Amino acid sequence: MTESTENAVTEPAAPQAVHSTTSFAELGVSDIMLSALEEACYHQPSPVQAGVIPIALTGKDVLGQARTGTGKTASFGIPILERLEKKRNSPPQALVLVPTRELAVQVRDEIEKLSFGRKVRTIAVYGGKPIRQQVGKLEKGADIVVGTPGRVLDHMSRGTLVLDGLQTVVLDEADRMLDIGFRPDIEKILRRCPKERQTLLLSATVAPAVERLAQRYMRDPVVLDFSDKTKTVDTIDQYYFTVEATKKYDLLVKLIEREQPEQAIVFCRTKRGTDRIQRKLTKVVKAVDCIHGDMAQGARDKVMKQFRAGEIKVLVATDVVGRGIDVSGISHIVNYDIPQASDDYVHRVGRTGRMGREGVAYTFVTPEEGPELTRIEILINRLLKRDEIEGFSTIVPVASATPAHPDGEAAAPAEEEKPKPPQLPGARRGRRHRRAL
């Protein structure tokens, strides 16, 4: 692996079409890995795994466009484990950079699951936890380190993480890492990695910023595209409710009563709103909790652990958990506040219906939020179905709707200030008005 100089930039090749193959054995994985996969009940590779694993096993760089929920973690976890060399007291051989603490824990757990039958130490390093604990773990030796860029740099500067022995570096959810401003940190880390290394980059979208990163730090990557044509998985039923802002909470209670979800995430726009909904909901629904970026790391970890264990049934959340988090029992997503960025809709809704399971998503739309809904529909190239619960249909027409915010927080900008919604191909005329009635 060479960091390219100005005149040695490599253009990623055109994406290759990938079809799922029949078995993991055919992908060329070892017997020990086959038993780990059996233990994990992974009977067949997902398309992402079928595409990435055979190439990554050869040591080549791979740029894969794939979302979470597609099995992407194992697609790099398996080749990393297969290519580990047996060395005693050596520095880490693989580094996985991820955007969030939750994803660091999740990726570590997945790699540990796939390490069944091997003596491999995988350590997660991320902010919000005392650094000393992690130093202690790293000092005992690590084969694979999974971490957020800031904390990885911190360990590097303390000398507790040495990158000299790396043979593989993974940039997981690269677009997300760049979105939240990790680019300088990522570059600092990559510049300190051995030049002869394998780089695997996974990203839900390959925006120009991701391409630039790939051109600079990857060597002739094989580019694989697993992005959904329709942007959301087909197994998810998607509905919207037109509801006045002041009635959203009551509608939420009715919807939970009607649906009796196995597990649900209720997405809110603000941290304060998240706290407030959780406090109110706790009085009427069992096993409710919340998670957002203002909570201490320990509290966030505890909530995620309980949610994964199924002890929390309804999790009220901001977009902190909107990306990357994989909890298999999530049957329902409720967009209590419609996401401000349409892409966030795809990430929120993608928390359910994972690996082909069924899921359902409901989005609450106030009369003045018609354009936001239309933008989402254009992005996913699909119309959401309208749902109704008696007593909650709004009678406020678009023109006279007063912008209100259910949580008394910053109200949405007036409709005139918003960009005009693009026309959805095939959408019926007057749909926005129909929605408002």
Note the residues at the interface with ligand AMP (CB under 6 A): 42, 44-46, 49, 68-74, 110, 326, 328, 354-355
CA–CA gap between residue 144 and residue 179 (Å, rounded) = 25
Task: Specify which residues 3 forms β-bridges with.
Answer: none
User: Based on CB atoms, which residue is closest to ligand AMP, 210 or 327?
Assistant: 327
Q: CB 305 → ligand AMP: shortest distance, Å? A: 15
Sign of CA dihedral 340, 341, 342, 344: negative
Q: CB 180 → ligand AMP: shortest distance, Å? A: 19
CA–CA gap between residue 366 and residue 300 (Å, rounded) = 30
Q: CB 158 → ligand AMP: shortest distance, Å? A: 30
CA–CA gap between residue 138 and residue 229 (Å, rounded) = 42
User: Based on CB atoms, which residue is closest to ligand AMP, 46 or 122?
Assistant: 46
User: Based on CB atoms, which residue is closest to ligand AMP, 48 or 290?
Assistant: 48
Are the CB atoms for 42 and 181 separated by under 8 Å? no
- Report long-range pairs for 271-274 (Cβ below 8 Å, ≥24 apart): 271/318, 272/407, 272/409, 273/336, 273/337, 273/406, 273/407, 273/409, 274/316, 274/317, 274/318
Q: CB 106 → ligand AMP: shortest distance, Å? A: 7
* Distances in whole angstroms, Cα of residue 240 to Cα of each of 229, 243, 352, 362, 368: 22, 9, 16, 5, 14
User: Based on CB atoms, which residue is closest to ligand AMP, 170 or 288?
Assistant: 170
User: Based on CB atoms, which residue is closest to ligand AMP, 16 or 328?
Assistant: 328
Residue 356, classified by CB atoms within 10 Å of its CB into exposed (0-12), middle (13-18) or buried (19+), is exposed
Greatest extent of the chain over all pairs of C-alpha atoms, in Å: 72
Q: CB 52 → ligand AMP: shortest distance, Å? A: 11
Q: CB 292 → ligand AMP: shortest distance, Å? A: 21
CA–CA gap between residue 315 and residue 376 (Å, rounded) = 23
User: Based on CB atoms, which residue is closest to ligand AMP, 46 or 167?
Assistant: 46
Q: Residue 222 phi/psi, 5° resolution? A: -80, 125
Q: CB 350 → ligand AMP: shortest distance, Å? A: 10
User: Based on CB atoms, which residue is closest to ligand AMP, 108 or 248?
Assistant: 108
